[in-house]
Structure 1
Amino acid sequence: MLRGRDQVLDALDELLAELRAYAAWENSTLETFLDAFAALLGSIENAYVNSGRPVPDDAWAVVADAVRGARFYE
């Protein structure tokens, strides 16, 4: 199981692989992705509550989840 910074690096590797495979993202431009990333990170506690998951104690895990979620967050 990945921990700490490695979780974020793994999430970024996943996103890069998806981009290279031409995956369809709702936030497919850098501008919309960064906007969604900022919005999601700003309300991440609600995202965890809404999905029935506890907020991780590890801030790196939260960032990794926000990076992954920014692909589709509105």
Structure 2
Amino acid sequence: MEKHRRHLLIASLITAIVTILYFAQLIQWIVTAVLLLLIFPYLSFSLFFTFIKTPKEDVAIDIMKRRYST
């Protein structure tokens, strides 16, 4: 599993756990708000980097071979 997908999975899991704990009334609303505000940047950047298209290494190697071959 890619690193960004792992981060997205962990951030989603933490968000779900905090939400479940709030609805089960095990934590107060202020603690929930603080935890969700702290996890939001992590979740949003994980989501952003998951969907970024990265160039494939094979294409880069083929271009280098074409450029430097005689």
TM-score (norm 2): 0.33
Structure (1 or 2) with the larger CA radius of gyration:
2
Higher relative contact order (CA 8 A, sep 6+): 1
Structure with greater helix share of residues: 2
